[in-house]
Amino acid sequence: MEINRRNFLRSAAIGTVGMAAIPEILSASMPTIKKKQKGILSSLKTGAVILFQGDSITDAGRERMKQQSNLAGSFGAGYAFLAASRLLCENPEKDFSIFNRGISGNKVYQLAERWQRDCFDLNPAVLSILIGVNDFWHKLDGKYDGTVEKYEQDYKQLLTLTRKMLPEIKLVIGEPFAVPETSAVNEKWFPDFDGYRAVAKKLAEEFEAEFIPYQTIFNEAVLRAPAKYWTGDGVHPSMAGCALMAEAWLKAVK
């Protein structure tokens, strides 16, 4: 685990306050990522559909009645709203339709149950998925009996079906993350949780998805402010954490 490394680096990093935090954090955590799909954004046609999928981190309190594209209420107040708003603002000529269909508490098998309605029916050109923390967390607190093997199997099945149904789709896979020294994430999470992160990374490579290393990004962020500044419970990002995720997402698709 990164705890020792982080504490060591935090002491070493005291001199960095006042520097531009976002570019610094992202250049430290994202430059080594091999881009599978150069410039997803520039490959998109006018009117392309972009879909955010996941659990509560993506859901972010969105209303689920209308579920419209490009509508603030339908996005909630999280990283998806931040990233989508910027995409729409920066690319007015593209006339993108961007949807958020994350649902709180979802594990990967629950995405599969609603995949026709909440993915295929929208015919997305880009699909961004962030899923996995509940596959582990709900097991830890006795609400679920899935294993990391089931997570991998379910996730692989979902991606295989997605590639079959939408052969041209551009995939973005976010690394599940858990930040220690917060209200919900403690030493019980590790090293088991790292297995879920590894699965997401492995599947991103296998399915030629753009991978966003959120765990690495948060590990860098906690060198600049306490963990709770970025995420109170270690799972759900604060406003600062949401903005950091959105910047990483935008960097990944550009």
**Which range touches a copy of itself (CB under 8 A), out of 109-117, 132-140, 179-187, 218-226?**
218-226
15 binds a copy of itself (CB under 8 A): no
Number of residues that bind a copy of itself (CB under 8 A): 42
**140 or 243: CB nearest a copy of itself:** 243
**81 or 193: CB nearest a copy of itself:** 81
21 binds a copy of itself (CB under 8 A): yes
Residue 221 beta carbon to a copy of itself: minimum distance, rounded to whole angstroms: 7
**203 or 221: CB nearest a copy of itself:** 221
**Which range touches a copy of itself (CB under 8 A), out of 3-11, 28-36, 78-86, 162-170?**
78-86
**Which range touches a copy of itself (CB under 8 A), out of 16-24, 28-36, 155-163, 188-196?**
16-24
| 30: CB partners within 8 A, 6+ apart | 212, 213, 216, 217, 248, 251, 252
39 binds a copy of itself (CB under 8 A): no
253 binds a copy of itself (CB under 8 A): no
**126 or 244: CB nearest a copy of itself:** 244
Distance in angstroms (rounded) separating the CA atoms of residues 224 and 90: 29
**Which range touches a copy of itself (CB under 8 A), out of 77-85, 103-111, 141-149, 211-219?**
77-85
Task: Enumerate residues 93-122 that contact a copy of itself by CB under 8 A.
Answer: 93, 95, 98
Residue 104 beta carbon to a copy of itself: minimum distance, rounded to whole angstroms: 13
| Near a copy of itself by CB under 8 A: residue from 78, 124, 132, 176 | 78
75 binds a copy of itself (CB under 8 A): yes
- Long-range residue pairs from 33-36, CB within 8 A, at least 24 positions apart, any chain: 33/211, 33/213, 33/252, 35/210, 36/204, 36/205, 36/208, 36/209, 36/210, 36/211
Residue 206 beta carbon to a copy of itself: minimum distance, rounded to whole angstroms: 32
Q: Which two tokens stand for residue 65?
A: 């009645």
60 binds a copy of itself (CB under 8 A): yes
